[in-house]
Amino acid sequence: MQRLRRGVERLKLKAFDPVTLAYRVQLLLRDPQRLAEMAAKARALGKPDAASEVLARVLAQPAAAQIFQPARAA
């Protein structure tokens, strides 16, 4: 886990304003190898069905049944 954190810190792009953000994006666009490495690491960490899983857990909560009720047909 520590190794993963170090990798994320190394690749993290800090941009606190629009000018810095634009500069950082331009740097990435000029470095296809680094961009490819970042993409591969993101894919390795990603969970394709994460949003669906989170929604299912939220809707499974008793309070959600009161808030999210199916629409009734008119």
pTM exceeding the 0.85 threshold for the entire prediction: no
Instruction: Give the pLDDT of the chain (74 residues) as one tens digit per residue.
Output: 566 566 556 656 677 788 888 888 898 899 999 999 989 998 898 888 999 999 888 888 877 666 766 666 65
Distance of CA 26 to the CA centre of its chain: 21
Residue 46: left (phi > 0), alpha (psi -120 to 50), or beta? beta
pLDDT for 31:
93
Do residues 15 and 24 touch, judged by C-beta distance below 8 A?
yes
- Where along the chain do its domains lie? 2-67
